[in-house]
Structures are given as C-alpha cells and as structure tokens.
Structure 1
C-alpha cells in the first residue's frame, strides 16, 4: 500500500522523517524526542505510529491546551514524564507602561535569530504579560540573542512550567456537512459564507492553514488542519467522518471561542 496517497504531496518529507524515527526507536530501543509540531504534524504522527504495535508516541507542549507540542516516540511499554520533553518557559520583561508588543512581533523576533520554527512552542498573552515555550537546548542562545522586540528593550526570564499563563484557546465542537473538502467549500460551511465570498478571502491572502497562507481555493482540507481566517477566527478540523447518503462530507470541527 502506498502510504503517501493518504497525505498531501508536500508532506512526504515529514512522513519520511516520522517513519525514520519510528524505525530508529524500534531497532535501537532508544526514545526519540521531536521539536514542536503543529496540529497537522501531530495528526500525521499519530496515524503513522498508530499502525506500529511496538512503538507509541506521547505529546506535551509545556502546558494545558497547547497547540504546538513536542512528541516522544518510545517502545510501547515505556512512559514519558513531563521532564523528558525538555521544554522551557520564558517570560518577556519589557516596559509595559510605555509600549505594547503583539504576537506577530514576538514570533518575528524569535524567527529572526536563525532557529527553526520547531524550536518554539505556543506564545502566551495575558494583559501585559507575554510568555513562550521553547526547546530547552536553545535556552542560552536565545537569552544571548534577544535584547529587543520591535522598539522595546526586553530581557528574558526563565520561569517554571506551572507558572504558565493559562491558555485561552478553547474550542467548541460542532459538525458540518460540505459538498467537498476544498478550502473554499469548507470555509463556506464553517462560517456560513457564500462560495464566492470564501474565494475572495482566500484570494486576498486572509486565510492560513497551519500558519501558512493558502491562496489556492482548491486546496484540500484534512484532519488536524488549523484554519485561520482574518476577521472570522480560527477553526480546527478534528475529524473527517465520511460521507452522508447525499454524498456530502461530514466534518467535526472545533471553533475557537
């Protein structure tokens, strides 16, 4: 069976990586810790590892309800502890009375220091407080590299994981039916829009899937996708549940509250 036919062509490299990790754990009996994975990557890993009876994977992103999470692949009789994920939490100290910092500025600064996106987990906000999760192995490098975000002078303070700002990303589950899995069709069903309106939003670059701008209306949605539409919020595709008697797709979604 061609395993790639169940996934997108651009996901082949990640699929090969997961299969390589799985074989490594299976043959060496050594656990494998990944960088932070987005929801779609987590889904792919669950599917691929779930087919192998001797290897399993566990996920943790540093706190409750985190979207980006690290995975540990291990033999089926092993169990991972929180410390095994080697995640650090940093709080950003800056002059809160005089300046505001936005999510995009934090992410942009983190990406500008030359590290892969996978080295960073969720970015958390609560009023003037800002925190982010990061792979432990880049702690020293980050502290040395980041002294400013935008026009604000900043410093990083490492805090305990149990001091994390509670995530406000909660999803309300719902079920919709759509005629196809195309992005424009799914968007219409999710937000009760006309197909034409959905295509305009996509064409204007206002729609992202798994944090990547998608400008192709025929892009096919799949389980685990996180769809963000400017002005309409975020929706996660929790599962694709097959077709109805009228040949429409039944999809379970999570709508961010």
Structure 2
C-alpha cells in the first residue's frame, strides 16, 4: 500500500498511517476496530485505503443517515456491523428557549473549552429551538458532569436514545464551474464570482477553512470531497473533478450548502 501516499496531500500522511495501522490490526487480529469521528475528506481516504484490501470492509455511522461527521468501523468480511459497534451517545440540550438562543458556534466553543478533542464528538444538530450533539460514548460521564453552561446560558444535558435524534438532512445544490487550477483562491473566486485578489485577502485574513481547518495559503491545492467554508458566504464541497476544457480550464462540480 506504499503507493497510496502519492494520491494524497503530505499533511494527510499521518492520518493515512493511522488508518493503515488500524487496518493491519484488523487483519492480524481478525476483529473490528473503531475510529474517532471523521469528516467527509477523511472518510474518502479511509474508503480508498480499505478498497485495496480483499478481506477487509468499512462501515460508517454518525448517529443518523444525514450526519456529516461519522465514525468508521473497519472489520473483517465475516463480521456484520451492529449499531452498538459505533459506540455513540446522543445528548439533548435543555435550555430556557423563551429567553435565549443557542448557536452551533457557541456549543462547539463550549465543548472545546472542556478540553475535548474535536474528533471525539460528531455533528451538532439543530431543528427549530432544539439542539443535540453526538459524542463518543466513552466520554459520556465526563461530558454530563462538566457541561452545565453554554456561554452564559444555564443548560441541562440529557442522554437520549439514538432513535430520537433529530433527522436534519443537509441539502447541497450542485453547479459545474471551471477554474484555471485547483488552487483554493481560484476555486473560491470562480464559485462565488469574486476577484482572485479579494479571495486572497480573505484567505490571508483567516476567513477560509478547508475541512474545518483555517488555511492561510491561497495556493493550497484542493481535492475531491474537500469542504470549503468562507466566512460570510457559507460552505461549499468540491464534489467531483472532471477533465479540462478546450481552453485548458478544469471542470468541476461544486456543491453549495443551502
């Protein structure tokens, strides 16, 4: 599997090594292994790696079919995955809805302030005034004991059955664009109809993320399944890269999150 590295970014090599190590454990011990929560790009990498093995398979779950962040269960082909294998806990947030509001950013910031790594909890889901989030079940007691406020808002955290999770589907609208390259500034400029100069300034001002990480280099090379977020403009996904046009532009499908 050494040739796998040539298909991915250098900064993704440690994650590839991690998945290869887990896969070798599954092969040697012939027993399933579970990962932390993965973003869509990481899941793409996992699927690519597992596709190179004949007797190993992978399944994903993040609590509902619509969650973006999911855990991967890598398992030998004799095994049949069950929901319990993904070790998920669903938390429902009780708060005074008549007097205050919550936001994804506030909840995420509070969880991170508890010293919790981002990859041990999944999606933060919202429907109307209701808020829920998924986490690694091994952190259940710690979270219940530590989380009683979000910002300045007093809350009560409840563990709910997974079948009572909010079913919120993300809707992406697709559009084909052309760009001179796969550079981050080029893709955003063409997708949002902005000047390259303005996009460069936004990137350098730390207003742009790729796969939830701030990217400050305008020449960062994007890949399929990358999630791009631009503050003030929302999120986009590089869904598929096609061939080149007669004018040597790259055709690609971009999804915009509604």
Matches of 2:201 and 2:253 in 1, distance apart?
A: 25
2:16 alignment counterpart: 15
1:44 alignment counterpart: 45
Cα distance, 1:176 vs. partner? Answer: 2.0
Matches of 2:220 and 2:78 in 1, distance apart?
A: 39
2:237 alignment counterpart: 236
Local SS of the residue matching 2:133: strand
Matches of 1:161 and 1:195 in 2, distance apart?
A: 45
2:83 alignment counterpart: 82
TM-score, with structure 1 as normaliser? 0.94
Check conservation: 2:127, 2:168, Cα contact below 8 A: no
Uncovered stretches (5+) of structure 2, i.e. residues with no partner? none
Cα distance, 1:168 vs. partner? Answer: 4.3
2:67 alignment counterpart: 66
Matches of 2:117 and 2:93 in 1, distance apart?
A: 20
Q: 1:121-136 maps to which residues of 2 (within 5 A)?
A: 121-136=122-137
Matches of 1:241 and 1:27 in 2, distance apart?
A: 39
Two-structure CA RMSD over aligned residues (Å): 1.5
Task: Tell which deviates more after alignment, 246-255 or 66-75.
Answer: 246-255
Cα distance, 1:48 vs. partner? Answer: 1.0
Cα distance, 1:11 vs. partner? Answer: 1.1
Uncovered stretches (5+) of structure 1, i.e. residues with no partner? none
Q: 1:210-221 maps to which residues of 2 (within 5 A)?
A: 210-221=211-222
How many residue pairs are counted as aligned between the two chains? 257
Matches of 2:237 and 2:244 in 1, distance apart?
A: 19
- Per-residue Cα deviation, 1:116-150 (whole angstroms, up to 9, x for no partner): 11111000112221100111111111101111111
1:108 alignment counterpart: 109
Matches of 1:54 and 1:142 in 2, distance apart?
A: 37
- Per-residue Cα deviation, 1:40-94 (whole angstroms, up to 9, x for no partner): 1111111111111221111111012211000000113433122221111111111
Check conservation: 1:202, 1:216, Cα contact below 8 A: yes
Check conservation: 1:64, 1:167, Cα contact below 8 A: no
TM-score, with structure 2 as normaliser? 0.94
Q: 1:104-183 maps to which residues of 2 (within 5 A)?
A: 104-183=105-184
Matches of 1:162 and 1:249 in 2, distance apart?
A: 43
Check conservation: 1:184, 1:198, Cα contact below 8 A: yes
Local SS of the residue matching 1:104: helix
Matches of 2:11 and 2:225 in 1, distance apart?
A: 15
Check conservation: 1:177, 1:189, Cα contact below 8 A: yes
